[in-house]
Amino acid sequence: MTQRLTGRTALVTGSTSNIGRAIAEALAAQGAHVVVSGRDEERGAAVVAGIRATGGVADFVRADLDGSPEASHALAAAAAEVLGGRVDVLVNNAGIYRSAPTLAETDAEALDRLYAVNVKAPYFLTQAVAPRMVAAGGGAIVNLGSWVARLALPVGGAYASTKAALESLTRSWAAELGPQGVRVNAVAPGVVRPPELDPDVSFSEEITVGTPAGAPGHPDAIGAAVVYLASDDARFVHGTVLDVDGGRGGVAVVAA
């Protein structure tokens, strides 16, 4: 069976654990040469080793995406060098969630940090990578949004607003870059809980009650969605936010 991304290159930010790791593994399994990126070199090396052990091609490039143009542009240049001069697929996955649950409890430092990592870093990284894609004849960018960007909760509004910003940028970039051969889309994960975490009931389980799925999702589901959007199967998909959330954002299941 032909791999969907054979011969292509990919950069996945924040890919040393959880959803980012699953995305990197999924892209590599479909034939892409993947740059795994994050702050932790030990975890990054483990992800790369796992991909190589299954026959994939991957390298690690350390980056601390602090929201500055310098950090994002440096990662773009380093990844392109490792990938032979081009980046065909960019996945803006890196993000943080700061414990600032309510309006009153969110201080300036927390808000600035959230926007630096979750909005400014992918903005400047896309700014650096997109021209390389255009020069190479095209590419695909996939941003990571969130179900909380559109289904509000009484907590975590600052974080949710950063994801809403990234989903809005997805549509703007699709309009700007699509005519130049670069497709831009997003995936909005729902509650995702890796099975190795404590299986006891927690907030993540409780918040999936009343959804069609009825339980948290696995990171592999997000990886599969990113593969689709990065591949030619999605050649006619531009500016879309693909909800992979177990139905949380749009469906209510009413118990009998």
Which amino acids are annotated catalytic? 159
Measured between alpha carbons, how far is 60 from 39 in angstroms, rounded to an integer? 10
The secondary structure of residue 231, as a DSSP letter, is S
Write out the H or E segment, with its range, that includes residue 58: strand 57-62
Residues 6+ apart with CB under 8 A from 69: 124, 127
C-alpha radius of gyration, the chain, whole number: 18
CB-CB contact of 65 with 13 (8 Å): yes
Write out the H or E segment, with its range, that includes residue 11: strand 9-12
DSSP code per residue over 160-217:
HHHHHHHHHHHHHHHHHHGGGTEEEEEEEE--B--TTS--S--HHHHTTTTSSS-SPB
